[in-house]
Chain A
């Protein structure tokens, strides 16, 4: 595989992956945003979907309008003098997610503390002490992969994922953090729960968080969490 970047990689009859970077970095986001904007203009109605992720964009197009070669040629032109979209990043929304950190809804707090050598209070402090960027959405509608967490919070995924993680659960794994927009299976370490509505089909833009957004978890008391509509039902662990 050639290491020269950017690189176009075939992704089926109606897709190209544009690889802009090799490594995860917050600075990637402004380049990816710029390319996504250019694609929307250049492909117009022939564009089907753009899936941004950490280092790449997957572009899918209508193969009745464009051949793969024609789509590649368009992308090559767009890459030619690409500049990072710093306005897009500055315009990336800032979100504060009220989060109740508590072992009843964050059943991995204690184990994470043990694994990282921190106290539970320190885990909460470190996790809520910095803001994160949204690198990608995936896994489930509105599920935002955010990072990077403090190296001191680096924890592997669970060996065996849980069958059901409650909606709003705030979690970490491998220097990333996320909040579950719906109850799904999940293998991340649960620290608490947010009352923010992360995915709402009634909302015009559906997902609260978008790639490039900035997110901060704000610790709130149980009372405040409940007052804002949070569900305090403890996670039931089946033996």
Chain B
């Protein structure tokens, strides 16, 4: 690591703030999970708006309660959830680049809409990668600022990479249409999987017509949805690899959408997998919120994903 310096000090850690880059790849065969931002979409925009390239490490702030002070002049962007962020007690605009002067206190209060906010500082946070990534996975004790998978602690000193010259000085605010409205009921796109025909007709009708409630049992591993019981002729499979967004249905008939910190293999039948952007959207849902599922095709999903990546690429 070169020329990194303390840029930010943690005055109050809050319940859950994690360092996340794009995730840990090439190690899934060792049982190591993916990690990375649960809401990839907002994470990518926070980095783009801060002037960082794809993959820079940001903070994923869940629920709020985090207080940070700048130890030198910085710039940042917050995208994703509105957690009532203030800078020296003045509201911070989201989805745009903001100047952060030395000594100013950035505070995340509590959720106004959405659940996870992404804080990208210009240059990106700096930490020693573990298996090619700084993505923090608490369960595996990997990544984060200490390499041991610790969430942010009060008193932590966070290092920041020096920012290169900005090649995007004019537009530092996300255009309209980029910013999701987290108050709308999400309709999550699901790519059907191999076991979809093993579900009863009634269950398939219910899967795509019922309103599914986000359960309290929701974290970075997976989000349990409650609603009508889904019956599958196959009750369990021989364990096999599980991709991001997979919606598995255990014998209790209540689906679980698997997110970034999921187990790498598992043996429950699956309805299919959420598209990457729908998994991102689900990660912003609070327990009790309702979502709907709709089946989609890989053509539409690919077009949507590539358009998102192209827009980010053009921005930086």
Among the 9-residue stretches A81-89, A107-115, A135-143, A226-234, the one with 4 or more Cβ atoms under 8 Å from chain B is A135-143
Cβ–Cβ < 8 Å partners of A199 in chain B: 30
Taking a contact as CB atoms closer than 8 A, the residue among B29, B274, B276 that contacts A51 in the complex is B29
Q: In the complex, A201→B301 CA distance in Å?
A: 36
Cβ contact within 8 Å between B29 and A12 = no
Query: Is B239 a contact partner of A53 (Cβ separation < 8 A)?
Result: yes
Residue in B27, B198, B241 whose beta carbon sits within 8 Å of that of A58 in the complex = B241
Please state if B241 and A11 are interface contacts (CB–CB under 8 Å).
yes
Interface residues on A, range: 35 or more
User: Is A90 interfacial (CB-CB < 8 Å)?
Assistant: no
Within 8 A of A (CB), among B233-285: 238-246, 263-266, 272-276
Chain A residues near B194: list those with CB within 8 A. Answer: 1, 7, 9-10, 17, 19
**Complex: A53 Cα to B242 Cα, angstroms:** 10
CA distance A62 to B309 in the complex (A): 12
Let me know if A194 is at the binding interface, CB within 8 A. no
Specify which of B147, B244, B306, B309 lies most central, judged by the most chain A CB atoms within 10 Å of its CB.
B244
Q: Which of B11-67 contact A (CB under 8 A)?
A: 25-32
The reply to whether A24 and B238 form a contact with Cβ atoms under 8 Å apart is yes
* A137 x B263 contact (CB < 8 A): no
Please, how many angstroms separate the alpha-carbon atoms of A7 and B194 in the complex?
10
Q: Does B191 contact A (CB under 8 A)?
A: yes
Which one of A52, A55, A68, A140 contacts B298 once the chains associate, using CB atoms below 8 Å?
Answer: A68
Given A48-B26, A49-B28, A140-B305 contact (CB < 8 Å): no
Assembled-state Cα–Cα distance A37/B265 (Å): 20
Most buried by B among A7, A17, A57: A17
Other-chain residue from A1, A7, A64, A142 in contact with B31 (beta carbon distance below 8 A): A142
Complex alpha-carbon distance, A162 and B284, angstroms: 31
**Chain B contacts for A128, CB-based, 8 A:** none
Residues B32 and A141 in contact, CB atoms below 8 Å apart: yes
Please tell me which one of the listed residues A14, A19, A58, A182 contacts residue B242 in the complex, with CB atoms under 8 A apart. Answer: A58
**Cα-based distance from A210 to B29 in the complex (angstroms):** 8
Tell whether A177 is near chain B: CB-to-CB under 8 Å. Answer: no
The answer to whether A10 touches B31 (Cβ under 8 A) is no
| Contact assessment for A15 and B30 in the assembled complex, using a CB-CB cutoff below 8 Å | no
User: Is residue A60 within 8 Å, beta carbon to beta carbon, of the partner chain?
Assistant: yes
The reply to whether B193 and A139 contact each other, CB–CB distance below 8 Å, is no
A54 touches B264 (CB 8 A): no
Contact between chains at A142 and B238 (CB < 8 Å): no
Give the nearest-CB partner of A211 in chain B: B29
Interface secondary structure of B, over-half rule: mixed
A192 to B20, CA, bound (A): 37
Query: Which residues of A sit under 8 angstroms from B192, Cβ to Cβ?
Result: 10
In the complex with contacts A13-B301, A182-B141, A138-B243 CB distance below 8 A: no
Pick the contact of B131: A12, A17, A52, A201 (CB < 8 A). A201
Do A138 and B239 form a contact, CB below 8 Å, given A12-B273, A13-B273, A50-B28?
yes
B305 touches A139 (CB 8 A): no
Question: Chain A contacts of B306 at CB under 8 A?
Answer: 63-64
State whether the Cβ of B88 lies closer than 8 Å to any Cβ in chain A. no
CB-CB contacts of A1-37 with B at 8 A, as 1s and 0s? Answer: 1000001011111110101000110000000000000
A134 shortest CB reach to chain B, Å: 11
A140 CB contacts on chain B under 8 angstroms: 31, 139-140
Contact A137 B264, CB 8 Å, known A14-B243, A49-B25, A53-B241: yes
Contact: B31 with A11, CB < 8 Å?
A: no
Cα of A12 to Cα of B7 in the assembled complex, Å = 39
In Å, the complex CA distance between A228 and B147 comes to: 27
Closest to B245 in A: A12
A35 to B188, CA, bound (A): 33
- The answer to whether A77 has its CB under 8 Å from any CB of chain B is no
- Is A56's CB within 8 Å of the partner chain B? yes
Name the A residues within 8 Å of B276 (CB-CB). Answer: 12-14
A-B contact pairs, 16 of them (CB 8 A): A1-B194, A1-B195, A7-B194, A10-B194, A10-B272, A11-B246, A11-B273, A13-B302, A23-B238, A50-B29, A55-B238, A68-B302, A136-B239, A137-B31, A140-B140, A182-B140
Listed from nearest, the 5 A-B pairs whose CB atoms lie closest are A58-B241, A51-B241, A12-B273, A9-B194, A138-B265
Residues in B lying within 8 Å of A, measured CB to CB: 25-32, 130-131, 139-142, 147, 191-195, 197-198, 238-246, 263-266, 272-276, 298, 301-302, 305-306, 309
